[in-house]
Amino acid sequence: MGSKSSTSNKVVGLTASTGFQVGVRRTLPISPELAWAYLTSAEGLKMWIGSVSPLSFHVGETFQSTEGISGQFRVVKPYQQLRLRWEKREWGEPSTLQIRLLSNHPDKTTISFHQERLDSPFTREQMKLHWEGVLAAIREHITHR
């Protein structure tokens, strides 16, 4: 008999290979260079990692914020992409976080947060709200500079 699974029973955000995942994106009226500069600044880092010592953004670099978020950079492509291990203190396993800056216009950039290897629908929803809040705060900062 053909198919092993029914699409009507699919759990939102669940993948076979990477657990639960979530993606949130927003297009902002700034260049990829300005978006990158803000995301990697102390003020920007505070939004998506927390308070950390200055980072150099190289592959293999680890971090631990005072808020309990730890991780390690796996891919660093300036003005384009960060891929890293990202974990809250209370989690049993780290997630994979990818931040992409997508642009085909010098004054417009889509900032995308995509997180996978989340352990449950609850964590997925929690992180969806978190990343939506981060993007709203970035938009607020950009429009009031």
DSSP H/E element including 105: strand 95-105
Instruction: Kindly tell me if the per-residue pLDDT of 3 is higher than 50.
Output: no
> Would you say residue 124 lies in a domain?
yes
pLDDT value, residue 19: 84
Predicted TM-score (pTM) of the model is 0.88
The number of distinct structural domains making up the chain is 1
9 lies in some domain? no
- Asked whether residue 114 is assigned to any structural domain, the reply reads yes
- Which of 78, 32, 33, 35 lies closest to 55 in space, CA to CA? 78
- Tell me whether residue 4 is in a domain: no
CB 19, CB 117: distance < 8 Å: yes
Give the whole-number percent of the chain exceeding pLDDT 90: 81
Cα–Cα distance list, 76 to 8, 71, 101 (Å): 38, 14, 12
**5 occurs within a structural domain:** no
Q: Is residue 96 part of a domain?
A: yes
Report yes or no on 28 lying in a domain: yes
Query: Between the CA atoms of 42, 43, 46 and 52, what dihedral angle is there, to the nearest 10 degrees?
Result: 20
Q: Which tens digits make up the pLDDT trace of 74-121?
A: 999 999 999 999 999 999 999 999 999 999 998 999 999 999 999 999
Question: What CATH number should be reported for the domain holding residue 30?
Answer: 3.30.530.20
Q: Does 15 reside within a domain?
A: no
Domain that holds residue 54: 22-143
